[in-house]
Amino acid sequence: MLVVHQSAQALAEGEPYPSERTRIRVVAQTRQTDVLPIRALRIIYEHSRELPADASFRIRQAEGVESQADEGPWVHLKEVASRFDSASSSGEVRLVLEPVRTREIELMLSPVPASVTVRQVLAEYDWEEPVPVRWESARLLPLKPPQNQHDHFEFDSGGPAPWHRLRIKLGKDVVGKVQMMALTPEGYWRGIGTLTAYDIALDDARFARDQIAFDEQRARRFRIQIEPPPQHPPELNLAYRPDLMVFSQRGPARLTLLAGSDTHLRALYPVRDMVEDVRNQLGADWHPADATVGARGEWTGTLAFKPVEKPLPKEDYKPWLLWSLLMIAAVLVGWMALKMTREPPA
């Protein structure tokens, strides 16, 4: 977004300005040709230290094309997150909003030091074409069979994808209370959703309730508890939206994936921001070209799991040369002193 105005003022009449507790007003306009729904704002600022813990953020939006943000309604904030880098004296605040369609926003920061400078306002947009949901299916295996009845089932998803919904099949004409848990990285089971599931036939109609929606979980192992215990292991489908991967490459090319991580993200490579910047330059209808996956093959195999051996340090000859010169000089000094003591006095 383009910052068109930035100013600071005292919080109230009679209070000193500038001071450590002032109000900063920022007006930013979107560069998008189409008014896309904004779901989050990222405020990049410069200051010698992080913003105060009691700093608040208020946002207004322009309702129409010709209207201004200072005349519009306030926007509801859902979440606020921040980070600060003392080495570069720069920080970032991410504000998650109720999605709004607007061309201009007004941002109020208070109370903050008057020396805070807002450098950038970045907008995160909801894409008009969401990534389709994929269903991964598997049949659960019981952990233990008490009295030929099973109430706990564990599922290995095969990878920590961004799971956010499940569909469970208990069987026809079966009703059960389902509780779902995910294994956290700390090693304990955390409840993520409950459901009274059923699949009942009544005359010629069939009524089913078999889906649980939950907050995104990047877990690999899940556990299901069912009351009363079913006679047979149920079927479970996990749904996820695939992660978006963008290759910054000019023209077609064959690329080889050497290594990857499902848990670590690089803050220095903001993929969505890069895509939005290109779209701002080429138009709202621009989309990255699709990449096709070729044949899979081993690159190094099990050797990739072996730790890299540290190279042996190179021998530095300079210290040895210096010590050698010092020893030679010491021998020469001693020889000259001994020679002078043996000479007869003049």
User: Measuring CA to CA, which residue among 181, 183, 195, 42 is closest to residue 105?
Assistant: 42
HEC profile for 36-92?
A: CEEEEEEEEEECCCCCCCCCEEEEEECCCCCCCHHHCCECCEEEEEEEEECCCCEEE
Mean pLDDT of 77-85: 80
Which CATH architecture does the domain made up of 2-125 adopt? Sandwich (2.60)
Third-level CATH fold of 134-240 = Jelly Rolls (2.60.120)
One-letter amino acid of 275: V
Beta bridge partners of 42: 94, 122
Of 122, 98, 88, 118, which Cα lies nearest the Cα of 1? 122
Residue 118 has a pLDDT of 87
Per-residue pLDDT of 13-32, as tens digits, reads 667 666 777 888 888 887 66
Query: What is the reported pLDDT for 338?
Result: 80
What is the value of pTM for the model shown? Answer: 0.40
What confidence score (pLDDT) does residue 144 get?
Answer: 55
Q: What is the pLDDT of residues 311-334, one digit of tens each?
A: 666 666 777 888 888 899 888 888
Give the chain's length: 346
Residue type at 342? R
Q: Are the CB atoms for 268 and 172 separated by under 8 Å?
A: no
In this prediction, residue 71 carries a pLDDT of: 78
Amino acid at 189: W
Residue of 229, 233, 236, 235 lying closest to 146 (CA atoms)? 229
Q: Look at residue 236 and give its three-state secondary structure.
A: strand
Q: Is the pLDDT of residue 59 over 80?
A: yes
Question: Which range has highest mean pLDDT (100-114, 158-172, 285-299)?
Answer: 100-114
pLDDT for 346 equals 59
Structure-block tokens of residue 314: 């190179």
pLDDT at 245 over 70: no
Where are the CATH 2.60.40.740 domain residues in the chain?
Answer: 2-125
What pLDDT does residue 146 have? 46
Q: Where in the sequence of the chain do the CATH 2.60.120.260 domains occur?
A: 134-240
> Is 346 or 4 the better-scoring residue by pLDDT?
4
Residue 342: its pLDDT value, please? 74
Bridge partners, residue 240, by sequence: 134, 163
Tell me how far apart the alpha carbons of residues 259 and 157 are, in angstroms, rounded to a whole number.
21
Contact 172, 162 (CB under 8 A): no
What is the enclosing helix (H) or strand (E) of 112?
Answer: strand 104-112
C-beta atoms surrounding 211 within 10 Å: 14
Tokens of 273: 């921001």
User: Tens of pLDDT along 98-141?
Assistant: 888 888 888 888 888 888 888 888 888 776 556 667 776 656 56
